Amino acid sequence: MSKLSAVSPAYWIAGVLLAASVVVPLLVSTYAREEPRLWGFPFFYWYQLLWVFISAITVSISYQLVIRQERKRRAAEGLDGVKEGDR
């Protein structure tokens, strides 16, 4: 069994979300125009600002997915976060 098949779908989803939030704003052809305008601002400016908020949301979702998966993994291994010396 390869190590890739052992990777949880939560990690794949988090990776795709993070990759999309980096790659899409770099695709110049998606925003290289002035129209449509929003409150007088050309498309370029408000589209880039929109991606700041979208990226914050995708990072938040990715973080929650990874943390939830890590907690499940630690619970399955019997690692509840309490050190051996503290028991």
Instruction: Return the pLDDT at 31.
Output: 77
pTM of the model: 0.72
3-state secondary structure the chain: CCCHHHCCHHHHHHHHHHHHHHHHHHCHHHCCCCCCCECCECHHHHHHHHHHHHHHHHHHHHHHHHHHHHHHHHHHCCCCCCCHHHC
- More confident position, 9 or 85: 9
Q: Supply the pLDDT for residue 19.
A: 93
What tens digit of pLDDT does each residue of 36-57 get? 888 888 888 888 889 999 999 9
pLDDT computed for residue 54 by the predictor: 94
